[in-house]
């Protein structure tokens, strides 16, 4: 994790150049080397996060094409070459596995199974009654670096790690705060990662809360976060700070006057407002 000084912000044009380059890449170790060779001035963690975002968008667009009864029947009939088939049809291994388990359950039960049942089988393939299918689903999960339950666990762990880094930085500055666990214990249902018990100022902007995002902030994800999270935090707790640890599109940092500040690292120029507030 970088301290302020080394920026991971990209202008919109730079992001689009990188995103366009990822269109030709598949999720392999070699693709990350190609990205780093092509864009040597950007950190590998930023490039990996951008690739992951763009690959997921691509897979969501292509999923509709593959969610067809005739095509699924063809895939289901060629399970023995599943791992070879996935790269050819440009579909994430875990998404392919999901489609096949859906198809299997429909054939077995005559109806669409609940998401809970489907997700439990994808997380634990041994629950799938067909041993051959279970084996292939497990292989798909292991070989997928961008989708699936294994990737979800890794992302969750990385998110937790960055939240702990944030807490450690706050403790180093002797800043008093409440984290999500404290806030939920107090009855809050939708909370930022950190509420500051004493507000701070960052670059002249007052901050009451901090949200940690262990990802790159692109336009689509940032817009979703604004609508689903950040504005509701602002309404309840006042102005706040969002840290995109792997960088963000610079033009997205346009809501400062409205109370949403973006940074790509923990700020180094914090001013505690306790004395000023006490005097008033």
Which of the pair, 95 or 216, is modelled with greater confidence? 216
Supply the pLDDT for residue 5: 45
Q: Residue 3: its pLDDT value, please?
A: 44
For residue 51, what is the enclosing H or E element? helix 44-66
**DSSP strand pairing (177-179 vs 194-202):** antiparallel
- For residue 224, the model assigns a pLDDT of 97
Q: Rounded to whole angstroms, how far apart are CA atoms 118 and 121?
A: 5
224-234 residue pLDDT tens: 999 999 999 99
What pLDDT does residue 2 have? 46
**Alpha-carbon dihedral 19, 25, 26, 30, rounded to 10 degrees:** -110
Distance linking the first and last C-alpha atoms of the chain: 37
User: What is residue 130's three-state secondary structure?
Assistant: coil
pLDDT above 80 (res 10): yes
What does the pLDDT read at residue 67? 58
The reported pLDDT for the residue numbered 279 is: 43
Q: Which tens digits make up the pLDDT trace of 149-158?
A: 888 999 999 9
The pLDDT of residue 262 is above 90: yes
The pLDDT, as a whole number, for residue 145 is 79
Helix (H, G, I), strand (E, B) or coil at 124: coil
Residue ranges of alpha helices (H) inside the chain are: 12-22, 29-38, 44-66, 69-76, 82-89, 93-109, 115-123, 131-142, 149-172, 180-185, 219-225, 231-237, 274-279
Helix (H) and strand (E) counts in the chain: 13, 6
Query: Mean pLDDT of all residues in the chain?
Result: 85
């Amino acid at each position: 994790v970088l301290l302020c000084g080394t920026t991971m912000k990209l202008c919109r044009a730079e992001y689009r150049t990188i995103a366009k380059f990822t269109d030709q890449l598949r999720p392999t170790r070699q693709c990350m080397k190609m990205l780093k060779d092509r864009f040597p001035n950007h950190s590998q963690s930023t490039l990996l996060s951008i690739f992951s975002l763009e690959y997921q968008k691509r897979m969501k667009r292509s999923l509709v094409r593959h969610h067809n009864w005739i095509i699924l029947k063809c895939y289901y009939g060629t399970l023995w070459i599943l791992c070879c088939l996935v790269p050819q049809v440009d579909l994430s291994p875990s998404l392919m596995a999901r489609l096949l388990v859906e198809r299997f359950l429909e054939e077995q039960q005559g109806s669409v199974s609940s998401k809970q049942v489907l997700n439990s089988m994808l997380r634990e393939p041994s629950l799938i009654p067909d041993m051959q299918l279970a084996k292939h689903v497990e292989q798909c999960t292991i070989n997928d670096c961008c989708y699936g339950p294994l990737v979800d666990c890794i992302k969750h762990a990385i998110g937790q790690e960055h939240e702990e880094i944030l807490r450690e930085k706050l403790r180093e500055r002797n800043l008093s705060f409440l984290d999500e666990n404290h806030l939920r214990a107090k009855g809050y249902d939708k909370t930022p990662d950190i509420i500051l018990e004493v507000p701070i100022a960052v670059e002249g902007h007052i901050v009451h809360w901090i949200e940690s995002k262990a990802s790159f902030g692109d336009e689509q994800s940032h817009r979703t976060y604004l609508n689903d999270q950040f504005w509701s935090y602002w309404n309840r707790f006042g102005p706040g700070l969002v840290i995109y640890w792997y960088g963000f599109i610079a033009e997205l940092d346009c809501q400062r006057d409205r109370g949403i500040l973006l940074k790509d690292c923990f700020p180094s120029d914090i001013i505690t407002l306790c004395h000023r507030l006490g005097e008033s």
